[in-house]
Structure 1
Amino acid sequence: MRTTQDTFHLAVPALDLDEAFAFYVTGLGCKLARRYGDRITLDFFGDQVVCHLSEKIDQEPELYPRHFGVTFHDREDWERLLRLARLRTLRFFAEPFHRFEGTAEEHRSFVLADPSNNLLEFKYYDDPRMMY
């Protein structure tokens, strides 16, 4: 069973590691853990994302079914990241939107696209029981 000491790991393709660094570290504020000639490893909000150098990227990404991100427990954290993304002029794939209004699953979301067209969704549920 996973504990708080364990880390979720996700690997994504990156056309250019300098661009990936600029987006994830300089833009989003992720911490660089390691850098090699063919990848960068990041502390992505407490989990591990590895950007592997690759020419196999999605030229025309669609949000469903492939994306990843963070579901925030506190709305203030979600809003803080949204302000940061705007301030640092990160590329929005989808501007902030509201889903399932009036239901238990109601949440706010926005989607960023990294330089290699990986889509990152950040959301906040009004009812924290709906996070999973």
Structure 2
Amino acid sequence: MATKSESRPRFHLAFPVTDLEAARNFYVGILGCKTGRESDRWIDFDFFGHQLVAHLVEPQDHPSVTTNAVDGHAVPASHFGAILDWDQYQQFVLKLEQQGVEFVIEPYVRFEGRQGEQATLFIRDPSNNYLEFKAFRDIGMLFDKDLESY
């Protein structure tokens, strides 16, 4: 019998990469994802319980990224990631630092000590896909409409 956590909806995202082996090294070796099905043109990754599918594209076909200003940072408009527990996020930051991962936006805390306090960071994969990892001090604030303006 499936538990509630096992029966929750899973998110699926397909995204372009320009080098499948570099993608495998990053998502498995750096982020700790497991692989699923694959072919010579794509790889499935278990990304925190969600299905990511890296599809091989030619470098000239990879989309460019525009940014928006948030907290004085140039946040890539196209990005994906995971929302971790606060302690899990702190451990994840240490893991990335120990592996020498370059941060696009260094880890920092938004709304520190206030309602909606959250930690965030941005990195990029070898194909220049941007990933954001964040944690809320109170996960109940995730969709709260009364938070201060971003």
TM interval, short-chain normalised:
0.7 to 0.9
Shift of 1:33: 0.8
Structure 1: runs of 5+ lacking an equivalent: none
Would you say the 8 A contact 1:113–1:119 is kept in 2?
A: yes
In the other structure, the counterpart of 1:65 is 77
CA 1:124/1:106 → structure 2, altered by over 3 Å: closer, same or farther?
Answer: same
Would you say the 8 A contact 2:65–2:76 is kept in 1?
A: no
State how many pairs are aligned: 129
Shift of 1:86: 1.3
1:85 maps onto 2:96 in alignment: yes
**Superposition CA RMSD, Å:** 1.7
Secondary structure in 1 aligned to 2:26?
helix
- Structure with greater Cα Rg: 2
| 1:13 counterpart (13, 16, 19) | 16
- The alignment-based identity, stated in percent, is 38
Higher normalized contact order (CA 8 Å, seq sep 6+, divided by chain length): 1
CA 1:58/1:87 → structure 2, altered by over 3 Å: closer, same or farther?
Answer: farther
Q: In structure 2, what is the Cα distance between the partners aligned to 1:12 and 1:91?
A: 21
Q: TM-score, normalised by structure 2?
A: 0.78
| 2:126 counterpart (115, 118, 122) | 115
Would you say the 8 A contact 2:16–2:56 is kept in 1?
A: yes
Q: In structure 2, what is the Cα distance between the partners aligned to 1:48 and 1:16?
A: 19
Structure 1 segment 9-48 matched on structure 2, within 5 A = 9-48=12-51
Structure 2: runs of 5+ lacking an equivalent: 68-74, 144-150
Would you say the 8 A contact 1:9–1:49 is kept in 2?
A: yes
Q: In structure 1, what is the Cα distance between the partners aligned to 2:66 and 2:102?
A: 13
In the other structure, the counterpart of 1:75 is 86
- Regions of 4+ moved over 2 Å: 3-6, 55-65, 100-103
